[in-house]
Amino acid sequence: MIVLLPPSETKRTGGDGPPVQLDSLSSPELTPLRRSLIDELVALAADPQACRTALAISAGQAAEIERNAALRQAPTLPAIQRYTGVLYDALDVGSLRGAAAARARARLAVGSALFGLLRADDPVPGYRLSASSKLPGQPGLAKRWRPRLEPVLADLSSRELIVDLRSGSYAGLGRVPDAAVRVQVLAEHDDGHRTVVSHFNKAHKGHLARALVSSRSEPTDAAAVAAVARRAGMRVERDGNELTVVVPA
């Protein structure tokens, strides 16, 4: 089973690993586009105004531009440590020990606008690039990533169950095959009607990811994923390969 997470805008700074070696990352089929995007981001960082426009960076976020300028030389961290924020706080992978920590490293993956697909231990630098970014003179990232990323996801899905927890824009970079499990989070109000959860959607998905990597079972279908979530105390409904986590409004 692979639990496919979204990345986060916020990322831990620094690192103790050597500069990124693209040829050593998982999914080497993605290396050419990874290299092109890094080259484009480094070049774009030389024009701060164009960089702010393309990447939706405010005037007070000069450090984000500096991060991109240093992409080739910056120290790295394992991907699962690089990303921060609500989902990753709820996942709290650093608190896992022993077999659960090993399962997390084996099962967790991250969808990335810069790297396409990362496994938990892939060492990456900090960067600024979101799925909605459009680099100057280039098509949108979904158009660039889909022809490369979707075959990788299809191959992965032929060997392991993918549980897709990505948000819409990141899911759009590479659609998972029909056999994958997709998850949404809905809030149920007192009168029974349901609405999409926004901010806390990430926390609930983080809790689900933690349950899935903590479980000794190896789910092979949506029903088994739902069973793991229910054992963790979550209310889950299933419609084929679509799971809905229902939470109080």
What are 102-118's pLDDT values in tens digits? 999 999 999 999 999 99
pLDDT at 59: 82
pLDDT digits (tens, 9 = 90+) for 133-177: 999 999 999 999 999 999 999 999 999 999 999 988 999 999 999
pLDDT digits (tens, 9 = 90+) for 39-63: 999 999 999 999 999 999 888 888 9
CA separation, residue 74 to residues 57, 131, 232 (Å): 20, 22, 39
pLDDT at 168: 87
Write down the mean pLDDT value for the chain. 96
Place 197 in a pLDDT band, splitting at 50, 70 and 90.
Answer: confident
Nearest to 208 by CA among 172, 239, 171, 181: 181
Give SS3 for 183: strand
Per-domain residue ranges of the chain? 2-248
